[in-house]
Amino acid sequence: MDDFYSSTIQVNTPEPLVPDEAAMEAEIRLVSRFRTLSLCRAVLCSFMFLFELLRVIYGFRMSSPLYILLFAGVAPWLVELAVTPYVKKSVPALPYLRRKYHYSSPRYVSHNLCYPLYCLLLLLWQLHNSLPQYPFEWMHYSPAIFLGTLLILRLVGPFLIAAHIRRGLLGRAHNFL
């Protein structure tokens, strides 16, 4: 009987409901990088669509960026299907944040793999672009403008989106009080 009372009882303590600060910060950075990549893709598709529309309306004799638009639309889905069995799924620290921004590990990997290819296609389009036509000489430099916009967005976007997410989390915390 003495052994029964002297033994220690081990209780399985559940995981804390609130993740630690480092895990939350890592999750915010991850989601903000993903959101920036998807924003870059949306901006690229918008630019390509508008350029193609202007090219058709005004009858420019320039090379068409339609292949870049098609690649930006289809490639992330195909890459996501290809990498899904190989990507290790991570445990979310902030699951509602992942749901809100539609984050998944395979989707992040596919966007991360396709972004350099978008930049490469824009660079190739700029190198093999036809000669400028008056009065729209600036259209000759549109691939470089699009590429510069994507690079700046990729550099600045994660900081701005992470700040927006943090501000939203603070507002959410104040709503519970």
pLDDT digits (tens, 9 = 90+) for 128-163: 876 666 666 777 888 899 999 999 999 999 999 999
Contacts of 159 (CB under 8 A, 6+ apart): 32
| Residue ranges in the chain assigned as alpha helix (H) | 2-6, 21-58, 66-83, 95-100, 105-127, 142-176
- The pLDDT of residue 98 is 87
Q: Under the phi-then-psi rule, with left for phi > 0, alpha for psi from -120 to 50, and beta for the rest, what region is 38? A: alpha
- pTM of whole model > 0.85? no
Q: What is the pLDDT of residue 175?
A: 52
For 84-143, write each residue's pLDDT tens digit. Answer: 999 887 778 788 888 888 899 999 999 999 999 999 999 998 888 766 666 667 778 888
Backbone angles phi, psi at 16, to 5 degrees: -65, 145
- Categorize the per-residue pLDDT at 16 as very low, low, confident or very high, splitting at 50, 70 and 90: low
Give the separation between CA 68 and CA 23, rounded to whole angstroms: 37
* 65 phi, psi to nearest 5 deg: -90, 20
What pLDDT score was predicted for residue 90? 77
Is residue 83 pLDDT above 90, yes or no?
yes
